Every structure is written in structure tokens, then in C-alpha cells.
Amino acid sequence: MKINELKSPLSSSKQSKRRGRGSGSGLGKTAGRGVKGQKSRSGVSINGFEGGQMPIYRRLPKRGFKNHFRIKTQSISFTMINNIIKKYNLDPSTIKEDELFNKKIFKRSKGSLKLLNIGEPIKTTNLEISYASKKAVEVLEKLGGKIDFVLHSIGMSPNVRKGKHYTENDYRYYMQTMDVSAISLHKTLATCMKHDALSEWGSVIALSYIAAQRIFPDYNDMADAKSLLESIARSFGYHYGIKKKVRINTISQSPTVTTAGQGIKGFNEFINFSEQMSPLGNAPALACADYCIALFSDLTKYVTMQNLFHDGGFATTGVTQEVIEKFGD
């Protein structure tokens, strides 16, 4: 067959229906536009027109969206670190974020530092930066750098999102819950151990919840996931402790407003109940962050394989006077 003999299949192209060619054509006379009116004219755009009333795109405020959970960070690269060392005569063996803030090189109010893989990496025995890109971590590991701490703070339940009752869980969703919320800790620790990524006396923390020990009806399969999470922390805590003196603990935090938590039925009511049942009140998220920092530090070198309650006393309180009075006569 020659090029000039190539033809497209008969069904591949279809002629458009001719409009305005008489009433017998099916789209004749008004060509399918109807009789008169603005819509029958050509060149008319009425997108967003609502019959003369103020359209919705003008009724809504133009303030935009502010994500209150966004973590503010400011970038720092290997190039910037090298220039800072030369300019401020810093010790290249130890680069700490707090020192950079204290020397007014960066403003603390603009957020924590995030290391980016830009420029020639510096060989340092102690680099303490809050965040780092994946590539920057890989470069540091190749140079012999180690990770001092790991925070496991992820949880997700498709069964909760889909409104499935615990007794009618979809088992595909159930396995996704286990994988994301608990088994991911095992995978992370196994990878760290395989590549010798954690430094000696390093610290690993996973965030849990008291539903791992007690029944909370609408916490659904997340309760099973938290139980598995705590078990993994204990088991890996033993093996990693013997091998590298790495500490692994879980923190059972007060109910905290998160995107995942808000999907749980009756979540707001339970927060109020927990507040009344806790002598110190619910522990806020920032206080939990401070607790994590304490467990990352050398002040807790010999704390491992523990599930630590950070809940204002909720876990060990039977009943409070406030709750008694609420149900009294």
C-alpha cells in the first residue's frame, strides 16, 4: 500500500449535522436555538449571569483561604550554610538551628528552617535543622550523617470516612487503615535499621490514643490500628535498643482537633467530655510538641518501650466532681 492510498476507517469521522437548512433537516429554521431571546443571538456570553441579582462570585468575600495547620518554614541550602560559616566564623563541625536564630541570621518568627539540596554539601558531624528535603537527607546520609529522631504522626481510616460501622467494616479499607496508621511505623524502622540511618541513642516517637486500651464506640478501626502501633513500638524498641541504643515510645495524647479526627462521629462532644474528665484539662497540640521535644532530648535517654499518657490526667481519672454534678439531681 502506498501513502496516497491510505484512507481512514469509515466510522472514524462523522460529518456534522447541517443547521438552518430548512425544517426537513431536523435543525432547520432557528437552527436549534429556539425562538428569539438573548440565547439565540451569536457572540453573547452570559456565564455567571444570574438574572440581574448579584452573582455568587461577587457575593463571596475575597479574603482567600488561610490554612491554620500549615507549618511555616524558611529555606536554607548547602550554599547558604557555606556562606554563613565564612561570614560569621562558625564552627563547621556543628551547625545548629538555634544558633542561627540567636545570631539573628534568620528570624525565628518566620518559621523553622528547611534544608534544601542546593550547592556543595558540607561535611559536618552535627547538623541540627528542623526539616530537610528528601534529596538533602540522601546527600547527608551518603556523607555519613545520621538521623537523631523520628516522629510518626500519621493516621487515616477509610471506614471512618465512608461512615462504615465497626461491625460492618470493609476489609479492604481495614487493611489500608492498618497499613497507613500502624504498619508504616514498622516499615520506617525496618528501613532505618537496614540502612543504619538512626544515630546511637536516637529517639523515635509515635502518636497514639487511649482508644488502644479502652473502648470508644465511634473510634472504629483506628482503635485497632493504635493497638498495633503501640505493639510495634514495644517490639522494635527491644530490638533497636539492643542493637543501637535507640529509644522507641508512643504518646497517648488528649483528643486533638485534626482533619482525620473531625471525621469521627461525636468528636466535638467527646472533646468536651474529656475536658471535664481531665483534672488539668485537655493537653493542647503545642504542649504535646513540647513533650515530644523532651523525649527527643538526652534528658530521657533511658525511657523506651513505653506508652506515655499526655492527657491532663484523663487516663487515670475515674470520675470528676464536675461530671458528678452534671448528672446529679
pLDDT in tens, 241-254: 999 999 999 999 99
277 and 163 in a common domain = yes
Report CA-CA distances (Å) from 207 to 104, 279, 306, 325.
33, 22, 12, 33
**Does residue 86 belong to any structural domain of this protein?**
yes
Residue 252 inside a domain? The answer is: yes
Question: Which residue, among 260, 254, 248, 253, has the nearest Cα to 300 in the 3D structure?
Answer: 248
Whether residue 234 is contained in a domain is answered as yes
pLDDT of residue 3: 87
159 and 303 inside one domain: yes
Q: Which residues of 208-222 are buried (b: 16+ CB within 10 A; e: fewer)?
A: bbbbbeeebeebbbb
Question: Domain check: are 187 and 246 in the same one?
Answer: yes
pLDDT higher than 90, residue 266: no
- State the CATH number of the domain containing residue 134: 3.100.10.10
34 lies in a domain?
no
CB 237 within 8 A of CB 304: yes
Do 206 and 308 fall into the same domain?
yes
How does the average pLDDT of the chain come out, rounded? 87
Q: Are residues 151 and 300 in the same domain?
A: yes
In the predicted model, what is the mean pLDDT of residues 283-288? 92
**Residue 236 burial class via C-beta count within 10 angstroms: exposed 0-12, middle 13-18, buried 19 and up:** buried
pLDDT at residue 172 greater than cutoff 90? yes
Looking at the structure, do residues 292 and 161 belong to the same domain, yes or no? yes
Domain edge (last residue) among 111, 145, 179: 145
Longest dimension (CA), the chain: 98
CB of 322 closer than 8 Å to CB of 272: no
Report, as an integer, the average pLDDT of 91-98: 86
Best CA proximity match to 198, nearest among 131, 250, 246, 153: 246
Q: What is the CATH number of the domain that holds 233?
A: 3.40.50.720
pTM over 0.85: no
Res 329 pLDDT > 80 = no
Same domain, 101 and 176: no
Q: Is position 2 within any domain?
A: no
Q: What is the pLDDT of residue 27?
A: 81
More confident: 195 or 293:
293
In a domain, 239, yes or no: yes
Q: What pLDDT shows up at residue 265?
A: 63
Give me the pLDDT at residue 20, please.
79
In a domain, 61, yes or no: no
Give the model confidence (pLDDT) of 190-223 as tens digits: 999 998 889 899 999 999 999 999 988 888 999 9
Q: Where among 145, 176, 191 does a domain terminate? A: 145
Same domain, yes or no, for 312 and 218?
A: yes
Last residue of a domain, one of 145, 173, 194: 145
Which range, 57-66, 70-79, 159-168, 299-308, is most confident?
299-308
The pLDDT of residue 56 is above 80: yes
Question: Residue 8: its pLDDT value, please?
Answer: 81
Q: Indicate whether 160 and 235 sit together in one domain.
A: yes
Does any domain span residue 38?
Answer: no
Indicate if the pLDDT at residue 42 is higher than 90.
Answer: no
**DSSP H helical segments within the chain, as ranges?**
56-59, 78-88, 97-102, 134-142, 158-161, 171-178, 184-194, 222-244, 267-277, 285-296, 321-326
Q: Give the distance, in angstroms, between the CA of residue 144 and the centroid of all CA atoms in the same chain.
A: 29
Q: Is 108 helix (H, G, I), strand (E, B) or coil?
A: helix
Tally the C-alpha atoms within 13 A of residue 230's C-alpha that lie toward its C-beta.
19
Number of domains the chain contains:
2
| Spatial separation of the C-alpha atoms in residues 292 and 251, rounded to whole Å | 8
pLDDT, average across residues 36-44 = 81
Is there a single domain that holds both residue 155 and residue 120? no
Distance between CA 172 and CA 158 in Å, rounded? 9
DSSP-derived letter for residue 76 is E
The whole-number average pLDDT for the span 162-186 is 94
Indicate whether 195 and 240 sit together in one domain: yes
C-alpha cell at 243: 542493637
Q: Which domain holds residue 114?
A: 69-145
The pLDDT of residue 124 is: 66
Query: Which stretches does DSSP call E strand in 104-169?
Result: 112-116, 126-128, 131-132, 147-152
pLDDT of residue 123: 67
Q: Are residues 245 and 293 in the same domain?
A: yes
Look up residue 253 and give its three cell numbers: 495524647
User: Who has greater pLDDT, 250 or 328?
Assistant: 250
100-154 pLDDT tens trace: 999 999 999 999 999 999 888 876 657 888 889 989 888 877 776 678 899 999 9
